[in-house]
Amino acid sequence: MELCFAPLEGITTYTYRNTHAQVFGGCDVYYAPFITPSDNEKLSLKSLRDIVPEKNRVERLVPQVLTNRGDSFLKFEEKIRELGYDQVNINIGCPSGTVVKKNRGADFLRDPEGIEQFLDRVFEKSELKISVKTRTGFSSHEEFGRILEIYNKYQMESLIVHPRTRADFYNGEPNMELFCRAYKESSNRLCYNANVFSVEDFKKIEADFPNLSGVMIGRGAIANPAIFREIKGGKPLEVRELIEFTNLLAERYLEVLGSEVYTLHKLKEIWMYTMWTFPEEKKILKAIKKSNKLPDLLGAIKGLL
Ligand SMILES: Cc1cc2nc3c(=O)[nH]c(=O)nc-3n(C[C@H](O)[C@H](O)[C@H](O)COP(=O)(O)O)c2cc1C
C-alpha cells in the first residue's frame, strides 16, 4: 500500500516537497498541486514551473491536471511527457469557487456525460498512466453511483476517492459508507483520501480496506510532517526537527520568492495546520497569527521546545 502526499495548492510546492523529502521523507509518492493548461504558450510554461525536473528532488512525483477538455489534456500530456513523466493525475474534485465557476474540478461531477466524453477521449489517446482524484458528488452522495459506473469503464492506475461532496468542502466526517461501496464496486484499485491525522487513523483504514492501492494524506501531513515515517514504524515527530524544517523552508522560500512578506505568508499558512499537533499551545498559535515579520514567527515556534 503506497503512502501518498496529497496535492495542496499553494502549500506543497516544489520547495515544500523537496524540503519535506530531505528532512522527514517516508512517503512513497508526492502528487503535485493542480495545473490548469492554458492555450497561451508562455503562461503554460510558467504553470509547469512547479514540476520541472531540475527543481524537483523527490524520488516520485505525479503531476496533476485540472481540465474538462480532452484537447487541453492532450496538450498538457505532450508537455509533461517532454519533461519525462509517464503518469498523470486528473483532478475531478477541487471545490474552490474560481475552479467550479469554469465547470472544472468538483463542478464536472454535475455532468457525468461530460466526464464520460472527456475520459473516452483521454483514455483513447493518452500514452500515460492515468489516475483520477475524485469527490463523491457535487451536492449529494447519491450522485456517486452513476459516476463510479463511468469510472469503471476505464483502466486506471488508481482511483483516488475523497468521500466528500463539493458541498462538504473539507468539513465534517468523510462518508465511509460510500467509500466502502466504492471499495466493493470499483473495477480500479482504490486509494483512500480524507482525514488521516495519525498512525491510528491510518491503521484503521488499512484494517478496514486491506486491498487499497494507497492512502493519501494531506492536511494530516502538514500538521505532522513525520506522519509517513511514523506509519512506517520510524521515530515520532520531534519539535527540534520541525523547527529545523521551518528554518530551511524559510531560507529556501526567501530565495525563491525574494520577499520576506511572501515567505511569512507561506509559513503562516503551513503553521495554521501544524498547530493542530499542539492544541494546548494557544499562546504560541496567537503569536504565530500575529507575527508581522518572519523572525517573529520563527521566534514564536521556538516556544514549543
Ligand atoms: C489548501 C488546500 C489546497 C488543496 N489543493 C489541492 C489540489 O491542488 N489538488 C487536489 O486534488 N486537491 C487539493 N486539495 C485537497 C487535498 O488534496 C485532499 O483531497 C483533502 O485535503 C482531503 O485530504 P486530507 O483530509 O488528508 O487533507 C487541497 C486541499 C487544501 C486544504
Q: Which domain holds residue 24?
A: 2-231
Alpha carbon 100 to chain centroid, angstroms: 18
Same domain, 88 and 194: yes
Per-residue pLDDT tens digits for 158-209: 999 999 999 999 999 999 999 999 999 999 999 999 999 999 999 999 999 9
H-assigned helices in 188-258: 199-208, 219-223, 227-231, 239-257
Least Cα distance to 104 among 61, 134, 142, 136 occurs for: 134
Task: Report d(CA 198, CA 229) in Å as an integer.
Answer: 11
Q: How confident is the model at residue 42 (pLDDT cuts 50, 70, 90)?
A: low
| pTM of the predicted protein model | 0.97
With a cut of 70, say whether residue 39 has pLDDT above it: no
Same domain, 32 and 61: yes
Last residue of a domain, one of 201, 231, 261: 231
Same domain, 171 and 56: yes
Task: Report d(CA 68, CA 88) in Å as an integer.
Answer: 15
Tell me what the pLDDT averaged over the chain comes to. 95
Whether 215 is in the pocket of ligand 1, judged by its Cβ within 6 Å, is: no
Q: How confident is the model at residue 217 (pLDDT cuts 50, 70, 90)?
A: very high
Please report the atom of ligand 1 found closest to the CA of residue 197. 26
Same domain, 174 and 57: yes
- In the chain, how many domains are there? 2
Q: How far is ligand 1, taken at its centre, from the CA of residue 34, in Å?
A: 10
Other CB atoms within 10 Å distance of the CB of residue 25 = 16
Same domain, 187 and 60: yes
The answer to whether the beta carbons of residues 202 and 179 sit under 8 Å apart is no
Last residue of a domain, one of 187, 215, 231: 231
Same domain, 253 and 219: no
The set of cell numbers assigned to 243 is: 523547527
Other CB atoms within 10 Å distance of the CB of residue 142 = 11
Same domain, 184 and 254: no
Task: Report d(CA 285, CA 74) in Å as an integer.
Answer: 45
Whether 7 is in the pocket of ligand 1, judged by its Cβ within 6 Å, is: yes
The answer to whether the beta carbons of residues 294 and 267 sit under 8 Å apart is yes
Q: Which of 94-98, 150-154, 198-202, 248-252 has the lowest mean pLDDT?
A: 94-98
pLDDT value at position 41?
Answer: 61
Q: How far is CA 275 from CA 21, 157, 217, 288, in A?
A: 21, 35, 17, 10
Per-residue pLDDT tens digits for 117-151: 999 999 999 999 999 999 999 999 899 999 999 99
Last residue of a domain, one of 231, 262, 279: 231
DSSP letter for 51, please: G
Q: What is the chain's alpha carbon radius of gyration, rounded to the nearest angstrom?
A: 19
Q: Which amino acid is at 42?
A: K
Whether 62 is in the pocket of ligand 1, judged by its Cβ within 6 Å, is: no
Whether 6 is in the pocket of ligand 1, judged by its Cβ within 6 Å, is: yes
Q: In terms of C-beta density within 10 A (0-12 exposed, 13-18 middle, 19 or more buried), how is residue 127 classed?
A: exposed
* Count of alpha carbons within 13 angstroms of residue 125, beta-carbon side: 16
Across-strand partners of 166?
none
Least Cα distance to 254 among 287, 290, 225, 294 occurs for: 294
DSSP letter for 6, please: P
Same domain, 147 and 254: no
Same domain, 243 and 227: no
Same domain, 191 and 58: yes
Task: Report d(CA 35, CA 65) in Å as an integer.
Answer: 5
Whether 220 is in the pocket of ligand 1, judged by its Cβ within 6 Å, is: yes
Q: How far is ligand 1, taken at its centre, from the CA of residue 239, in Å?
A: 25
With a cut of 90, say whether residue 38 has pLDDT above it: no
With a cut of 80, say whether residue 43 has pLDDT above it: no
Whether 270 is in the pocket of ligand 1, judged by its Cβ within 6 Å, is: no
Instruction: Name, in order, each residue with C-beta under 8 angstroms of 187's C-beta and a sequence gap of 6 or more.
Output: 151, 152
Whether 104 is in the pocket of ligand 1, judged by its Cβ within 6 Å, is: no
User: What is the sign of the dihedral through the CA atoms of 135, 140, 143 and 145?
Assistant: positive
Helix, strand, coil tally for the chain in percent (to 5): 50, 15, 30
Q: How far apart are the first and last CA of the chain?
A: 34
User: What is the sign of the dihedral through the CA atoms of 158, 159, 163 and 168?
Assistant: positive
pLDDT value at position 231?
Answer: 98
Same domain, 199 and 292: no
CA angle 14/15/21 to nearest 5° reads 80
Same domain, 14 and 102: yes
The residue whose CB lies within 8 Å of the most ligand 1 atoms, and thus the one to mutate among 170, 191, 227, 273, is 170
Task: Report the CATH number that the domain containing residue 66 is assigned in CATH.
Answer: 3.20.20.70
Q: Atom 6, ligand 1: which residue's CA is nearest?
A: 8
The residue whose CB lies within 8 Å of the most ligand 1 atoms, and thus the one to mutate among 8, 219, 270, 272, is 8
